[in-house]
Amino acid sequence: MTNADQNSTERLIRVLQEQESLVEQLAKLATQQSELVESGKTEALLSVLGRRQELIDRVIASQGDLTTLLEELRCDRSNVSEASKRQIGGLVETINHQLAQVMKRDSEDQQRLESRRDRTREELAGVGNAKKAHQAYFKSHPVMNRFADRQG
């Protein structure tokens, strides 16, 4: 293995370890997000979503480095040691597994939020119908006195 290949491999492993750490943090925030969605704590949920977006931005930024490093190593895989290949494969597998869990949790949270939105919409429609019924029942009828003096 040449020195350049070893440096590329080491950098690739560092980038993957960084991504693994970021995705692990994302997974923890996804758990918090689910708890906040369930409890209806909107302000705290917005804070968690903001922190998640920062992590996602960092993952996306590291993707450029990852792509470049993978291209460098694809040219000649024979220069990568078996131990490095196993380490890289393990990191990729861990990252993919954690991302799949985050996406599954996000999908479940989205369904819960949509269900809550639909229930709220129905409740508001019910309030609107009750208001219309109340207004119809107590509709003010103009008084049309047939006999009125000058004072009304």
- Taking CA 103 as the corner, what is the angle to CA 30 and CA 88, rounded to the nearest 5 degrees? 95
Task: With a cut of 90, say whether residue 40 has pLDDT above it.
Answer: no
pLDDT of 25 reads 96
- The reported pLDDT for the residue numbered 48 is 94
Confidence of residue 13 (pLDDT cuts 50, 70, 90): very high
pLDDT in the model for residue 20: 96
Distance CA 131, CA 142 (A): 20
- In angstroms, the Cα distances linking 112 to 39, 49, 117 are 11, 16, 9
Asked whether residue 146 carries a pLDDT value surpassing 60, the answer given is: yes
Alpha carbons within 13 angstroms on the beta-carbon side of residue 11 total: 18
Residue 147 has pLDDT above 80, yes or no: no
- Both tokens of residue 141? 């009828």
Residue 143 has pLDDT above 70, yes or no: no
Say what the pLDDT of residue 140 is: 58
| Residue of 148 and 15 predicted with greater confidence | 15
Percent of the chain with pLDDT over 90: 45
Question: Tokens 């949270």 label which residue?
Answer: 109
